[in-house]
Structure 1
């Protein structure tokens, strides 16, 4: 168990899928339950960030989970990250989304080890040329620069990175870790959900 808080974004807006993707089943379990299972394997604490109080009842999570209602409404993932970091019990937190059914605990451990290599504020993978902002580690030192952006209505997840120390992890490094490649897969559409079901079947069988 790592001195790390898992922040799970579970706002509930699933525009492309047309229904609550967090509660879709993959391998007989809701995606959000799969995400929490992965987080519990490696993080000491878990926080679920929601956009409204009644979302807590909707999710019906049977566990001792810390729920946080987003402090900045309609501010997307950046607002959710800020709200989660505010309530974090540890210096470092890992941010994930509720639509990622194949998260890798081994990858989180690898990423956390990077925090010991320097005085970083963010540890983040770059996969297929893109920074994976909802699959990254953030230090509580990010709170002030994030808050400044939110107050100005600036919601780009990496918009404050020039003001903090960022450790990027290359795709080559990441894909050496077993299960890491599928860790970044997320369900946004019906086609994604079908693919997730097939991926689960290929891994675990019927």
Structure 2
């Protein structure tokens, strides 16, 4: 089973408003993400910051199968990943942000494949920088690693990855699929939005 968890629980401080609900070409941003993922996944879960946001997302994004919520307010992505993975029974799950509308589904499919013999697959540059999102992680080891991180009040995704067996994928391999590396472009400010949508 191939699932996806879209993290939408951030405060969007630099953006100035809720990024997940910001309109791009007549669709809210998170729908652009969900539409792409729906072509390659069996289930899509969104981790929302509260019920008000979750209700809007469920109304406007039919591709999303389930909404869950951050268990600890303002804790960060580790709590969101934990919450999302709790809804997944088995298989591999890609973790992405709601602000990644330019992701390339071929890159995601490659990450799924590269996690076959591992607990997770993550992209890493030649100088050691890790692109934390998107990450593909298997449900069971991911649930255990994020639960342990929350128990230890550890907010760092890197430390979650250090608890499991990870296949680090060279960025140059990803460039062969996504030459401009738009998959890793997240929208932090209005100025980051490209038009037209690609």
Note whether the superposition's TM-score is higher than 0.5. Answer: yes
Shift of 1:180: 6.6
**Counterparts of 1:18 and 1:132 in 2: how far apart (Å)?**
24
Q: Is the 8 A contact 2:34 2:61 kept in 1?
A: no
Q: Note the residue ranges of structure 2 that are not aligned, 5 or more in a row.
A: none
Shift of 1:178: 4.0
Q: Is the 8 A contact 1:92 1:138 kept in 2?
A: yes
Partner of 1:170: 170
For the residue of structure 1 that corresponds to 2:143, the secondary structure is helix
For the residue of structure 1 that corresponds to 2:31, the secondary structure is helix
Alignment of 1:158-197 (within 5 A): 158-178=158-178, 181-193=181-193, 196-197=194-195
**Counterparts of 1:110 and 1:136 in 2: how far apart (Å)?**
11
**Counterparts of 1:186 and 1:162 in 2: how far apart (Å)?**
24
Alignment of 1:42-57 (within 5 A): 42-57=40-55
The answer to whether structure 1 residue 139 and structure 2 residue 133 are counterparts is no
State the superposition RMSD in angstroms: 1.9
Q: Is the 8 A contact 1:75 1:150 kept in 2?
A: no
Partner of 1:149: 149
Q: Is the 8 A contact 2:123 2:131 kept in 1?
A: yes
Shift of 1:68: 0.7
**Counterparts of 2:179 and 2:5 in 1: how far apart (Å)?**
21
The answer to whether structure 1 residue 101 and structure 2 residue 101 are counterparts is yes
Flag the 1:87–1:97 CA change in 2: closer, same or farther, 3 A.
same
Flag the 1:47–1:54 CA change in 2: closer, same or farther, 3 A.
same
Q: Note the residue ranges of structure 1 that are not aligned, 5 or more in a row.
A: none
**Counterparts of 1:107 and 1:180 in 2: how far apart (Å)?**
12
Aligned length, in residue pairs: 194
**Counterparts of 1:94 and 1:180 in 2: how far apart (Å)?**
20
Deviates further, 175-184 or 141-150: 175-184
Q: Is the 8 A contact 1:99 1:187 kept in 2?
A: yes
Shift of 1:197: 2.1
Shift of 1:62: 4.0
Partner of 2:114: 114
Structure 2 counterpart of 1:15, from 9, 13, 16: 13
For the residue of structure 2 that corresponds to 1:42, the secondary structure is coil
Q: State the Cα deviation string for residues 119-167 of structure 1 (Å, max 9, x = none).
A: x111011248531222110112121222111122110011133321110
- The TM-score normalised by the length of structure 1 is 0.86
Flag the 1:76–1:40 CA change in 2: closer, same or farther, 3 A.
same
